[in-house]
């Protein structure tokens, strides 16, 4: 699975086929949400980046209870605006108020889960 | 999972709607809340919010220096308004405080909507003040032009006061006398000279009479122009600030009587007979007496002018003025048997349309304006050219 990278084309199809253990092998953060924004998977890389344990995120409304810093038109709103979504966004997360530059990839398609893919930005 | 005080504090900081950043002395952002990211990312033009001074000094000059010069904890910059300009134009209320010897806090509150509203209210006030000023100027101009026009009207009317010029009358009498005394004149002056003298005098008489005709024609044209200007001013006064209605309860029957009595001289001069049919019940409306009488006079003038053409010279000229209650309205009707018209009625209220040769059309437009300003209506109907017309004014009854 290590050949799958942050920029891999067709990443959504790969992610849809992975279980939680496989998601944990990825070198970038993965948050899987249902259509209501509830976190259904939170991989270990994302847990390290955010400083948040998996169980603190699972079952929560991601953009309200876990990462309200992304609850705006630049990130959360994009999922509502575009049913077919594969976009790269340069962003700053505020994990425990720490400014953390990241690269995001927003993924969803009709019938799929929602994915927010996170990679730390290099300086 | 239990909620710790740290979680509560974090949740509190996350939910603050204002942008908040904790900074080091060199501007490095130590902590930042989600509102600050949402506000500053579009402004930054880069996805790095590493240094607050680097980012904000383009809008708040000397930020670095001002923070460095502050020594005691407390406000350094308090609620300073900052306009970011395009492409993402926001107005921010900017506050920076020193926390201790090392750190400071910057808070930003987006006040774009409030400021835009304030600017809009300011613009509206300016527009209203300008409109009030213009209305005052317009009323003053109308008043002054009205006075000047009245003076011109009086002067023009003086030109008509002498039916005949004395010089012309004397010359005519002299020419007539010389004609009778031609023989005596021949004896005194010799026939040739006498004839030349009489001819010269006749030329002088004719020339002066011709000049009199031209002056009278010019005066008539001037009087018509003055009347036109007066009509224009009347229309403008209704819509200008100085033309506000002074409403009282008034009986439309009295309005009809007053309008007829004001036009009595004209009616007599033009040999027009008035038939006044007033209902038994009062026709009370709320209105401006002066404007309503003006409307009545205009309708009467309109009816009288309908008999101006030569073909009506030998016709019995009658104008019927009737006032009665019709449903919930007071109704005033003015009917003539004059020139009539074929046009569609709405066109007649156009300021440039008239069915009469020399009229301007302003009279009816003015009448309609007065009717509408009383929440009423004015209709003009005619069975056809040469068959007369009826103007009907309706204004809601007050009781």
What does each of the 399 residues of chain B score in pLDDT, given as a tens digit?
456 777 788 778 888 888 999 999 999 999 999 889 888 888 877 657 889 998 888 888 888 999 999 988 998 988 888 888 877 788 989 999 999 999 999 999 989 888 888 888 888 888 888 888 887 787 788 878 888 887 887 777 777 666 667 888 888 888 888 888 888 888 988 889 888 888 888 898 889 888 888 888 888 778 777 877 776 676 666 655 455 667 889 999 999 998 888 888 778 877 889 999 999 999 999 988 888 888 898 899 889 888 877 777 778 889 999 999 999 999 999 999 888 887 655 556 655 555 554 444 557 777 888 898 899 999 988 888 888 899 999 999 998
Closest-CA distance of chain B to residue A8, Å? 22
Dihedral (CA of B187, B189, B195, B201) sign: negative
SS (H, E, C) A37-55: CEEEEECHHHHHHHCCCHH
Closest-CA distance of chain B to residue A72, Å? 7
**Looking at beta carbons, which residues of chain A come within 8 Å of B37?**
69, 72, 91-94, 99
**Looking at beta carbons, which residues of chain B come within 8 Å of A94?**
14, 31-34, 36-37
Estimate the share of chain B in helix, then strand, then coil, as percent rounded to the nearest 5.
55, 20, 25
Instruction: Return the SS3 of B125.
Output: helix
Structural element, H or E, at residue B32: strand B29-32
A92:B41 CB<8 A? yes
Whole-angstrom Cα distance, residue B39 to residue B32? 11
Which phi and psi angles does B352 have, rounded to 5°?
-105, 0
Say yes or no: ipTM exceeds 0.85. Answer: no
Closest residue by Cα to residue B29 from B11, B53, B10: B53
Is the CB of residue B91 less than 8 Å from the CB of residue B71? no
Closest partner CB to A97 (pick from B32, B41, B42): B32
Is the CB of residue B235 less than 8 Å from the CB of residue B361? no
């Amino acid at each position: 699975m290590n050949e799958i990278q942050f920029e891999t084309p067709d990443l959504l199809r790969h992610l849809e086929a992975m279980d939680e253990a496989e998601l944990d092998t990825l070198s970038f953060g993965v948050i899987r949400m249902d259509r209501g924004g509830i976190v259904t998977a939170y991989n270990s890389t994302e847990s390290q980046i955010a400083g948040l344990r998996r169980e603190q995120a699972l079952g929560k409304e991601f953009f309200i209870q876990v990462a309200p810093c992304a609850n705006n038109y630049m990130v959360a709103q994009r999922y509502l605006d575009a049913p077919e979504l594969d976009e790269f966004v340069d962003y700053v997360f505020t994990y425990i108020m720490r400014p953390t530059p990241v690269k995001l990839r927003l993924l969803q398609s009709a019938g799929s889960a929602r994915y927010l893919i996170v990679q730390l930005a290099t300086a | 999972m239990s909620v710790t005080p740290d979680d509560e504090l974090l949740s509190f900081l996350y939910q603050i709607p204002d942008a908040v950043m904790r900074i080091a002395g060199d501007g490095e952002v130590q902590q930042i809340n989600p509102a600050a990211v949402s506000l500053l990312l579009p402004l930054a033009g880069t996805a790095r919010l590493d240094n607050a001074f680097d980012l904000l000094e383009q809008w708040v000059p000397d930020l670095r220096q001002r923070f460095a010069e502050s020594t005691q904890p407390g406000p350094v910059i308090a609620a300073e308004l900052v306009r970011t300009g395009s492409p993402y134009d926001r107005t921010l209320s900017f506050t920076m405080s020193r926390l201790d010897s090392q750190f400071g806090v910057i808070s930003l509150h987006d006040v774009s909507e409030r400021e835009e509203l304030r600017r809009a209210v300011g613009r509206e006030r300016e527009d209203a003040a300008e409109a009030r000023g213009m209305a005052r100027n317009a009323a003053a101009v109308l008043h002054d032009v009205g006075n000047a026009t009245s003076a011109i009207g009086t002067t023009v009317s003086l030109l008509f006061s002498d039916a005949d010029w004395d010089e012309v009358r004397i010359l005519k009498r002299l020419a007539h006398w010389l004609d009778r005394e031609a023989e005596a004149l021949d004896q005194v002056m010799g026939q040739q000279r006498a004839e030349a003298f009489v001819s010269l005098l006749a030329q002088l008489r004719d020339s002066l009479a011709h000049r009199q005709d031209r002056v009278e024609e010019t005066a008539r044209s001037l009087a018509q122009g003055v009347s036109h200007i007066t009509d224009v001013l009347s229309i403008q006064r209704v819509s200008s600030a100085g033309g506000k209605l002074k409403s009282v309860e008034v009986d439309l029957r009295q309005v009809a009587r007053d309008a007829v009595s004001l036009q009595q001289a004209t009616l007599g001069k033009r040999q027009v007979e008035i038939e006044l049919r007033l209902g038994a019940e009062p026709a009370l409306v709320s209105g401006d007496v002066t404007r309503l009488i003006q409307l009545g006079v205009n309708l009467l003038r309109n009816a009288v002018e309908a008999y101006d053409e030569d073909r009506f010279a030998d016709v019995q000229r009658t104008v019927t003025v009737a006032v009665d209650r019709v449903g919930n309205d007071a109704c005033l009707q003015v009917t003539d048997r004059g020139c009539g018209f074929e046009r569609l009625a709405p066109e007649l209220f156009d300021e440039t349309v008239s069915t009469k040769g020399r009229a301007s059309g302003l009279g009816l437009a003015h009448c309609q304006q007065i009717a509408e300003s009383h929440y009423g209506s004015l209709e003009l109907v005619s069975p056809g050219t040469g068959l007369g017309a009826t103007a009907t004014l309706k204004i809601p009854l007050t009781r």
